[in-house]
Amino acid sequence: MIRPTASEVPRGDAQGERWKRRGLYFFFMFLLLGFAPSGVLPTWGIEKPTTMFFYNPDANLKDISLLKARVSNYLKKMNADVDFQPFVKFEVMEQQIEAKRPSFLVISSWYYPVLAQKYPLRLLLIPQKNGQRSYKKVLVTLEDIQELKDLSGKTLATTPLGENTSELLTANFFRNALVDMERIKVITVPKDLDALLAVSYKRVSSAIVVPENINVLKAVNPAVEKIKIIYTSPEILHPPLVALKDYATAEEIEKVKSIFLAMSENPEGKDVLNLLNYDRWTLPDKEVLEQLN
């Protein structure tokens, strides 16, 4: 059978065929977009994964990669597909909150009211350690500093408290004392242990640290034995678990809350708590709300 050449096909028929093909294409695309099951389509427009950020510079976290893997795996095993991301540096964590808008955060209690000014937060749970929801920090030195007034003109190492570290130290750590922070040079370090090391090597005059970290460092640095405590802070709440209301659904919130509350009831959950340096998670009460606000 001999087919006509392109020049022999009437112009109108050729255009009609093209329009038919276009019509069929758009018809099938409509069906695909309207009825294809979730996960079959390309990734545009798909909701972001549920993310949880963790930041606690006072904890003696030995292996961030291990912590990330173990907590994420545990949450998935509990049927919560949550990407758990711990941070060592405050500034990196703060940038990522703005960039990725996580659904959940475990953050230092001093940072809660600061962040609440930027995002609507919902306080979910408070961790306990050794049966306590709070802890204290101490001011330590190797120099001849006897009283807080002797800090004038000296250097002080601490983990960062955001853009206004000196103001937040006055409002939180030194709230029961009279200290002129304008006369003290504050040097921020990523972790509590870094502040302790800076004092032991006499790179700074003083440091604000968690007492138990002093014992951790004594085993490897004999100079720490000579460190003296000259001030103890008021009670500081352990880092709370909070939800960013605009990015966490009600279903996600209830699921994560129930998983964390039950974490201390099974062996794998206890292992995760141990990595986080906690014993269990508890519901906040009126006293906790007052301390955070």
pLDDT digits (tens, 9 = 90+) for 27-53: 444 444 444 343 333 323 334 578 999
Is a pLDDT exceeding 70 seen at residue 286?
yes
Domain boundary among 219, 234, 249: 234
In a domain, 149, yes or no: yes
| Whether residues 86 and 203 fall in one domain | no
| Whether residues 151 and 273 fall in one domain | no
| Whether residues 165 and 228 fall in one domain | yes
| Whether residues 108 and 151 fall in one domain | no
| Whether residues 256 and 167 fall in one domain | no
Q: Are strands 155-158 and 236-237 parallel, antiparallel or unpaired?
A: unpaired
Say what the pLDDT of residue 176 is.
83
CATH code of the domain containing 258: 3.40.190.10
Q: Which residues contact 191 (CB under 8 A, 6 or more apart)?
A: 57, 61, 88, 159
Domain of residue 181: give its range: 137-234
pLDDT digits (tens, 9 = 90+) for 104-142: 999 999 889 889 999 999 999 999 999 999 999 999 998
Say what the pLDDT of residue 184 is.
93
The string of DSSP letters for 149-172 reads GGGTT-EEEE---STTHHHHIIII
Q: How many residues are listed for the chain in this entry?
A: 293
Q: For residue 72, give the 3-state DSSP assignment.
A: helix
More confident residue, 266 or 49: 266
Split into its structural domains, the chain has a count of 2
Residue 16: Cβ-neighbour burial (10 angstroms; 0-12, 13-18, 19+): exposed
Rounded to two decimals, the pTM is 0.77
- Per DSSP, 96 falls in state H
| Whether residues 176 and 224 fall in one domain | yes
| Whether residues 71 and 147 fall in one domain | no
| Whether residues 199 and 84 fall in one domain | no
pLDDT digits (tens, 9 = 90+) for 185-228: 999 998 888 999 999 889 999 999 999 888 888 878 777 888 89
Cα gap 121→113, rounded to integer Å: 9
Residue linked to tokens 């955060």: 105
- Per DSSP, 291 falls in state H
Cα gap 229→206, rounded to integer Å: 10
Nearest to 139 by CA among 101, 184, 94, 89: 184
